[in-house]
Structure 1
Amino acid sequence: MEYRYLGNSGFRVPVLSFGTGTFGGQGALFSAWGNTDVAQARRLVDVCLDAGLNLFDSADVYSKGAAESILGEAIKGRPRDGLILSTKATFRFGDGENQVGSSRYHLINAVDAALKRLGTDYIDLFQLHGFDARTPLEETLSTLNDLVRAGKLRYLGVSNFSGWHLMKSLALADRYGWSRYVAHQAYYSLIGRDYEWELMPLAADQGVGAVVWSPLGWGRLTGKLRRGAALPETSRLHATADYGPPVDEEYLYKVVDVLDAIAAETGKSIPQIALNWLLQRPTVSTVVIGARNEEQLKQNLGAVGWNLTPEQVARLDAASQTTKPYPYWHQAGFAYRNPTPV
């Protein structure tokens, strides 16, 4: 397993990490993802560790806390320093007025509750699950800095931030000498390249590593979707399509056609090719993979240990390219002043 630095930090993470959204199966969204129990989770953790993958990502809202609890049970008894635990909070977790957001009240409660569910006394990477425009950034960032100083959190990140959300936060942290965000858990895939427009150049400039979520385009790059064919009965898209990013069908199949051709050339599966493409993109520190079962997990782990050729990458780039919104299409016409991150 290849390891990379997490943004501009000294912390090394595996290029593939395991997402626990399939643990628990509670609620309409997460029950469609999976319902992995403790025994199954232990086996998946074993497979990950055997492959050198030791970063496990969760969130308090995954199955209403059950995912964190199951992960905590699955890692019980294992050496803590051999594991990297990542989780997130900000979204609503309870009915009370203060059970949501990035206030001091909610963040301290959320971190303490996550530590208890995970069965640990520190979290390696803690991320805000979304931006909270209602809470002053000074309150959020000073609270996170206090939690780092208290030893409860090791590294900080965010998820689903826009460029100005992230840049304003980084500037404020720099002004006061508070702990800086070193990771951005962002949606990025062959059929969802919005991350490249502003967030990637920002990440390259500011040293923020991408932690990629939904790298298979919300389940559309599994190899099961084909032009003119009905959606497979086993596809989670039956229940979750409305929750995820919309994708034009013809655009999807244009990309799948190229994936099919490269699969024939390489002997690799479509998911493995889609994941490998991401691992060659600038600023990507780790790609979060998920799996309902051991077979899916082992398939996804096969995305490492080899690389697409530059020519294959270029074909995938061309097939998945879309027209950028303003001002990015305008900036792209001046590459000598706005070069693509490398």
Structure 2
Amino acid sequence: MLQRGAQPLEAFPGTQQPWRCRCLRCGQINSPRYNDVVNKGSGPCRGACRSRKIASSLMHDGIKATATMEQHGWLPLEPYPGAGKAWQCRCAQCAVVKTKRLTHVRNGRARCTHCTGRVTEAAAATTIMTASGLVPLTPYPGLELRPWLARCLRCGHLGTPTLSSVRLRGHQCWACHATAFPAQRVLDEQQAVACMLTHGLHPLDPYPGRTDTPWASQCTTCDSFSAPVPRTLPGHHRGCPVCARQDISPSEPGDLYLVLHDGLHALGWGVTQAGRRRLHPTRRAWQILARWRFAAAQDAWAFSRHIKQQIRGNGWPPAAQAEEEADPTWAQTASLKHVSCAQAVRIIEEIVGPAC
């Protein structure tokens, strides 16, 4: 062990047992096995000595590293910082400044995201959204694949489309698409009856000939009577309002709410609708903090996604969940250690206004 740079600090325990030793190079105390040191050549120290050995093997010459970056179209703005570390460089084509890593560039990840169009500036992103009939209500999130809260200029409803989807497909609005659906899909009598039966409804009257006209029917599950509109059925699991009373209709008014749990120090949010769905956490320990009324529940959903994006975007995880509070919607919570009630309320009031 002395020949290999380790000073034993206790009696020899055996070839297969950890042996407490001090490294003669860095001074750290380790517990290598005699058999590993002698037969496997792993060395007596796996701490600082091992880290320095790995770093030295990965270290590249500064001149060669600079030449590699320039070869791939990046002009370094500072000396080579070392293997695996961020390196301030300027793109030789568009002059944008980025932090690159030599390892990434050598492995084929040298393309500039601005030159390839994968990264868009805030002004250009706003122009794309506005040209597609959408007005952003929040600053550009920075990435094309992140939801962006916006209002539709055609119908006034809210949504969270991504810049990527708007760039590829143009106008993105759930309400506009829902309105255009009946015009694109015309059903004959046989298709309309099949649609009603698929959703658990037995028609009582002849087909009215239109998909936007109420059609008297009876539920095949609970025998209750209703008059649904055929065009709305593809968006629901069941057409009977009694069987689907816990669901939320996206076109009807809905509430966005914030709730507080003093015992768990947690903040929760969700969407509810009168007569259809109770508040997101049903335990008595949750107390209502604020409520906002929307003309369409889908707009409330958009704000619910916006709140989650803002909180999770800052790296704040869901609140710690107790066993007795087991709930599949716990993902819509945050710890009060990370975000305060005032911050959550401010996120909504900046766009919607005061709570009702």
TM-score interval for Structure 1 and Structure 2 normalised by the shorter chain: under 0.3
More helix by proportion, 1 or 2?
1
Q: TM-score, normalised by structure 1?
A: 0.25
Q: Which of structures 1 and 2 has the bigger CA Rg?
A: 2
TM-score under structure 2 length normalisation: 0.24
